[in-house]
């Protein structure tokens, strides 16, 4: 399902349900029912609020700096993070990021050069955290230079020749670009040259000389520009959260047509797209019942974290992300809280494990192996890797003498005599002849994460479950 699915929002079913449910003020409602509606509404809107907070924190800046950039300008990460990086948990050492936020009050053109045979993915995500299954990538295109026209809700106009139009359901969106790099200085320079050619051009400036100008910085965005989004959202309280949510739904992020039932329920509590939410208009008993909703609803979201994927041979495998329907609001909120924004499974799947084949926690005090049978390595059209993380208030790279954070085919690991492939997860080197197969572990607890880019969809496939990652085995 593409991002365009939301274009029917506020029409038909949504409009009808809201019209029937809208009183001059919130309906008389029992505290218990109000609490349930508020909890459901909080979960429903969590992806929207998380994305909006992230957008403002990353783009409400005067210049490109660090991982932030003004709206309409790319920030390009030139190298993989170092071993002591403590920014975003579970950092990547396979692809270099290129990120830009767009304001589609005017259509914007995204252009990239000829990517050759290199893997790339420009993940397109709207304010609701819905990813497009057609995001520009090695999977969806031929890699040749291309121009994509991103248009917002209600846009009607002509698409210039040679462009591919992307209708987006919200006013704001983000492109999360990933370009493969093998980690060598020579390849970094090649990828950096590609990144320098990723461009955003307003449609009105297409075909003309154009130099981007940063929009004015808002000195008072209404929340902290530096606190983590989860903390920022909690600090909004009930009224602040639902006020921002209603404002966004009225101005920038209309609900999907399939959201009509929950929109009607929220109206009973006075949460209406485009209208301010005022706690003072509710009965005192109802106000008391929903006062702590931010804390209790977040606990509901956190409790769902361990149910996000199936466990196969100790590996947690989450699928079905990126596109969400009415039955997936809790899943969407959980992804927003712990893995914003998440890829479509057709683009990437990231199994991870914290235990060995006996269910015991992985620790650098022991030695482990992972063996892929002959012709049974991760089945991908793109590439695969396994990244090692120490578990220490987050998932972080492991400092080591080789400065090696991943193991993958690019290391040219040596197969066994029978054609199988054994990888070594341990703190000390398994020997010079095996270091290509070695993923250095910390002394304490650790977590290996497998990244499978553009996984195959025909058997054997991790998508349909016909391929399963083997268990991590503790060495005798």
CA–CA gap between residue 160 and residue 172 (Å, rounded): 22
Give me the pLDDT at residue 46, please.
98
CA–CA gap between residue 45 and residue 277 (Å, rounded): 14
Question: What mean pLDDT do residues 22-43 have?
Answer: 83
Per-residue model confidence as pLDDT tens digits over 236-279 = 999 999 999 999 999 999 999 999 999 999 999 999 999 999 99
Query: CA 303, 273, 329 angle in degrees (round to 5)?
Result: 25
Contact 91, 127 (CB under 8 A): no
Per-residue model confidence as pLDDT tens digits over 366-403 = 999 999 999 999 999 999 999 999 998 889 999 999 99
* Adjacency order of strands within the sheet including 146-151: 163-167, 146-151, 108-112, 199-202
CA–CA gap between residue 10 and residue 6 (Å, rounded): 9
Q: In the numeric block, which tokens belong to residue 227?
A: 């606190």
Q: In the numeric block, which tokens belong to residue 46?
A: 């969590």
Give me the pLDDT at residue 12, please.
36
Q: How far is CA 60 from CA 104, 291, 314, 419, in A?
A: 16, 30, 42, 53
Question: What mean pLDDT do residues 131-147 have?
Answer: 95
Question: What mean pLDDT do residues 104-131 have?
Answer: 97
Give me the pLDDT at residue 27, please.
64
Per-residue model confidence as pLDDT tens digits over 53-109 = 999 999 999 999 999 999 999 999 999 999 999 888 899 999 999 999 999 999 999
- Helix, strand, or coil (residue 172): strand
Question: What mean pLDDT do residues 154-163 have?
Answer: 96
Model confidence at 176: pLDDT above 80? yes
DSSP state of 116: T
Contact 367, 474 (CB under 8 A): yes
For the beta carbon of residue 67, count every other beta carbon within 10 angstroms: 13
Nearest to 349 by CA among 467, 455, 216, 230: 455
Give me the pLDDT at residue 13, please.
37
Q: What is the DSSP string of 11-63?
A: STHHHHHHHHH--SSPPP--HHHHHHHHHHHHHHHHHHHHHHHHHHHHHSSSS
Model confidence at 23: pLDDT above 50? no
Give me the pLDDT at residue 17, please.
38
Q: What is the DSSP string of 399-463?
A: --TT---EESGGG-PPPPTTS-EEEEEESS---GGGGGGEEE--SSBEEEEEEEEEE-SSSS-TT
CA–CA gap between residue 75 and residue 261 (Å, rounded): 39
* Fold classification of 61-205 (topology level): Immunoglobulin-like (2.60.40)
CATH code for residues 307-474: 2.60.120.600
CA–CA gap between residue 70 and residue 101 (Å, rounded): 8
Question: What mean pLDDT do residues 155-168 have?
Answer: 96
Nearest to 380 by CA among 451, 447, 276, 332: 451
What confidence category does residue 431 fall into, taking pLDDT thresholds of 50, 70 and 90?
very high
CA–CA gap between residue 252 and residue 171 (Å, rounded): 5
CA–CA gap between residue 135 and residue 424 (Å, rounded): 35
Block residue for tokens 């506020």: 10
Contact 100, 73 (CB under 8 A): yes
User: Where in the sequence of the chain do the CATH 2.60.120.600 domains occur?
Assistant: 307-474
User: Where in the sequence of the chain do the CATH 2.60.40.1610 domains occur?
Assistant: 61-205
> β-strand 163-167 against 146-151: which pairing, if any?
parallel
Question: What mean pLDDT do residues 204-228 have?
Answer: 95
Question: What mean pLDDT do residues 210-227 have?
Answer: 95
Per-residue model confidence as pLDDT tens digits over 275-325 = 999 999 999 999 999 999 999 999 999 999 888 889 999 999 998 898 898
Give me the pLDDT at residue 309, please.
87
CA–CA gap between residue 131 and residue 323 (Å, rounded): 6
Percent of the chain with pLDDT over 70: 94
CA–CA gap between residue 146 and residue 382 (Å, rounded): 20
Question: What mean pLDDT do residues 16-38 have?
Answer: 68
Q: What is the mean pLDDT of the chain?
A: 93
């Amino acid at each position: 399902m593409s991002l365009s699915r939301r274009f029917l929002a506020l029409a038909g079913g949504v409009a009808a349900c809201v019209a029937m449910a809208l009183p001059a003020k919130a309906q008389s409602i029992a505290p218990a029912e109000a609490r349930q509606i508020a909890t459901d509404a909080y979960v429903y809107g969590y992806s929207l609020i998380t994305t909006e907070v992230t957008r403002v924190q990353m783009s409400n800046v005067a210049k490109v700096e660090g991982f932030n950039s003004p709206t309409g300008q790319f920030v390009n990460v030139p190298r993989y993070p170092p071993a002591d990086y403590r920014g975003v948990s579970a950092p990547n050492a396979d692809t270099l990021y290129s990120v830009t936020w767009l304001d589609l009050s005017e259509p914007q053109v995204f252009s990239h050069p000829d990517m050759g045979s290199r893997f790339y993915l420009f993940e397109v995500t709207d304010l609701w955290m819905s990813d497009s299954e057609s995001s520009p990538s090695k999977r969806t295109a031929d890699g040749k230079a291309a121009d994509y026209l991103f248009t917002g809700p209600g846009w009607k106009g002509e698409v210039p020749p040679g462009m591919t139009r992307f209708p987006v359901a919200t006013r704001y969106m983000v492109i999360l670009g990933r370009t493969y790099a093998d980690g060598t200085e020579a390849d970094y320079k090649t990828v950096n040259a590609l990144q320098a050619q990723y461009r955003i051009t307003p449609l009105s400036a297409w075909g003309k000389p154009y130099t981007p100008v940063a929009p004015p910085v808002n000195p008072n965005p209404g929340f902290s520009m530096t606190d983590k989004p989860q903390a920022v959202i909690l600090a909004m309280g009930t009224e602040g959260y639902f006020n921002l949510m209603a404002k966004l739904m009225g101005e920038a992020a209309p609900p999907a047509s399939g959201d009509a039932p929950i929109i009607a329920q929220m109206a009973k509590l006075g949460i209406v797209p485009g209208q301010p939410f005022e706690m003072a208009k509710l009965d005192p008993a109802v106000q008391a019942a929903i006062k702590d909703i931010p804390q209790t609803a977040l606990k509901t979201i956190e409790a769902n974290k361990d149910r996000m994927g199936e466990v196969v041979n100790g590996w947690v495998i989450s699928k079905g992300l990126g596109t969400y329907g009415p039955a997936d609001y809790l899943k969407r909120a959980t992804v927003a809280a712990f893995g914003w924004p998440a890829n479509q499974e057709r683009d990437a799947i990231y199994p991870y494990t914290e235990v060995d084949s006996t269910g015991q926690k992985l620790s650098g005090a022991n030695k482990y192996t992972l063996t892929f049978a002959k012709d049974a390595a991760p089945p991908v059209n793109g590439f695969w890797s396994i990244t090692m993380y120490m578990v220490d208030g987050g998932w972080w790279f492991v400092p080591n003498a080789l400065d090696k954070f991943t193991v993958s085919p690019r290391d040219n690991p040596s197969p066994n005599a029978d054609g199988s492939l054994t990888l070594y997860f341990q703190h000390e080197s398994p020997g010079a002849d095996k270091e290509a197969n070695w993923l250095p572990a910390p002394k304490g607890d650790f977590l290996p994460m497998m990244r499978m880019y553009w996984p195959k969809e025909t058997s054997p496939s991790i998508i349909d479950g016909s391929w399963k990652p083997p268990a991590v085995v503790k060495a005798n």
